[in-house]
Structures are given as structure tokens and as C-alpha cells.
Amino acid sequence: MNIKIKKILKKKNKSKIVSLTAYSKNIAKILDNYCDIILVGDSMANVLYGLDDTHKINLDMIINHTLSVKKGVKKSLLVVDMPKGSYNNKNTAKKNAKLIMRLTKCDAVKLESNNKNFDIIKELVKSKIPVMGHIGYTPQFKKKFKVEGQSTSKANKLLKEAKLIEKAGAFSLVLECLTPHASALVTKNLRIPTIGIGSSTNCDGQILVTDDMLGISGFYPKFVKKYATLNTTIEKAVKKYTRDVKKGKFPLKKNFLNGTKF
Ligand code: KIV
């Protein structure tokens, strides 16, 4: 088993797993010093490409961004989202997951659950492709962004789904937008670690979309904590640059290229 995955598994009930998304090398390089897991998420659809949903992200886009991210990653476990439509059946899933793994040298792929595709996870794991599952609000399959597991029966249904994903061989599971009760129920009853987003602290770890927590995406639901307001920082810098250019204050003499030195 991949040594980085072994490390993640060992964290269950011991220490919290830290995870964030990245779509490019420069961000990944910073995250790599802190994160156990870096996810190249299909959230790039909304965050980076300004699309309405994640459905239009294709394999080439995911692979290209992962190639960039990989350049910044040394220590973290690199997980890549399989785009919608790229794992509709066992053969397609196997072909595409192998392509992602071979071209990007990532560590694992992530598949959203539709509460039916357990055999696809099983097939990938059988082919030695590590799989992270994803339940709750799964944007590839559900239209409405809503809290999941609000009644006892709904929470139990999520647990049943999570158990089948674990049985299929996934090494971890993302819980998106689950109630604190449902998150605790799933986390306590699984051997594999759960990574929550909008799912309280009752998970083995947390993930956020980096652009959201840096305050640059413009999407800040209740479960996002803004750790920075980079939009303001960037705007200030651009404003200063604009002023300098207009006033002839940039470039300065020290920025001129007189000799051969850069
Ligand atoms: O695409 C993504 O960024 C994700 C996270 C929200 C878990 O799947």
C-alpha cells in the first residue's frame, strides 16, 4: 500500500487530517507544507472557470491542472477528482482512472457516490487504484445544495451508503454537508477516515476549497471560514500598480535592464 495512504489511515481516532484543494503549482507548493491531503477538485468548474456546475469539467482539464499541482507537491497525498461521466461503468472508470494515475502520477482518485456505484469502486481498488469516496451533497449527481442526513432514517441511509463504500475498498470518505449527528454516526461506524466539508467537527479531518478559505472565490456559505481576504489584498496591489504606471513611477530605474543581468 502507498505509504502516504498508510499514514492517513493511521490518523483515524488519533489526529485530525488536514486537507485543501489546489488547481495549480504555486498554491500546491504552499499547501504541501501543511496538508495531509491535497485534492484537485472538480470544484475548479465554479471556482476557476466560472461555470454553473461541475458537470462540464472534462478529463483533459483535470489532468492538466493535476500536472501543474503535482509540480508543487512533495509530501501530501495527491487525490484527483474523476469528472462526471468519466466513471459511468466499470470499464470506462478503469480506463480513465488508469489514465489519470499514469499521466499525473497522483496517489489516488475520488469518486462521488450515487448510492449505486459501489462495484465501480471495487473494480478500481481491484486494479490497485486507491479510491476516496464522497457522500452527502454530491454536486455531480444532486442538483440542490442542501444539508444531508437531517432525520434519523436519512442519517442511517447515509451510514449504509458509507459502509458499502468502505466494503468496496475505499481508503477514505468525504462527507459533504452532513448534520453533526449524521457525521458522527458515519465516522464512528467506519474503520476508514472521514473528511468533512460543512459536516461539523465530528469527522476525522476537514477539507475546504482553498479559494473559499482565502476569500477569493466570492462563495462563502456558513461552513466556510475565511482565513484571509485575498481579494482585498490583490485589489490593493493592483490599484497601487495602476497608480504607479499612470504616474510613470513604475518601472523605477532599478527595474531597467541596462546590462545583461536579470
Ligand atoms: O471538488 C471539490 O473541491 C470537492 C471538495 C468540495 C471536497 O470535491
184-198 pLDDT per residue, tens? 999 999 999 999 999
Query: Tell me: the pLDDT tens digits for 46-77?
Result: 999 999 999 999 999 999 999 999 999 999 99
Strand partners, 174: 134, 195
* Residue of 73, 36, 39, 41 whose CA lies nearest to 193: 36
Tell me how far the alpha carbon of residue 251 lies from the centroid of ligand 1, in angstroms: 41
Ligand 1 proximity of 209 Cβ (cutoff 6 Å):
yes
Q: What is the pLDDT of residue 105?
A: 98
Pairing of strands 131-136, 172-176: parallel
pLDDT over threshold 90, residue 175: yes
In whole numbers, what is the pLDDT of the chain averaged over residues?
A: 97
Q: Which superfamily, per CATH, for 3-230?
A: Phosphoenolpyruvate-binding domains (3.20.20.60)
Tell me how far the alpha carbon of residue 210 lies from the centroid of ligand 1, in angstroms: 10
Q: What is the pLDDT of residue 262?
A: 82
Ligand 1 proximity of 198 Cβ (cutoff 6 Å):
no
The pTM assigned to this predicted structure is 0.97
Residue 188, judged by CB atoms within 10 A of its CB (0-12, 13-18, 19+), counts as: exposed
Integer Cα distance of 83 and 81 in angstroms? 6
Query: Tell me: the pLDDT tens digits for 116-133?
Result: 999 999 999 999 999 999
Ligand 1 proximity of 212 Cβ (cutoff 6 Å):
no
Q: 260 pLDDT band (50/70/90 cuts)?
A: confident
Q: Say whether 176 is catalytic.
A: yes
Q: What is the pLDDT of residue 169?
A: 98
Q: What is the pLDDT of residue 1?
A: 84
Q: 90 pLDDT band (50/70/90 cuts)?
A: very high
Q: What is the pLDDT of residue 261?
A: 80
Contact 65, 47 (CB under 8 A): no
Integer Cα distance of 11 and 191 in angstroms? 11
Peptide bond preceding 251 in cis form (omega within 30 of 0):
yes
Q: Where are the domains of the chain?
A: 3-230
Contact 184, 190 (CB under 8 A): no
Integer Cα distance of 164 and 118 in angstroms? 7
pLDDT over threshold 90, residue 145: no
Q: 143 pLDDT band (50/70/90 cuts)?
A: confident
Contact 223, 203 (CB under 8 A): no
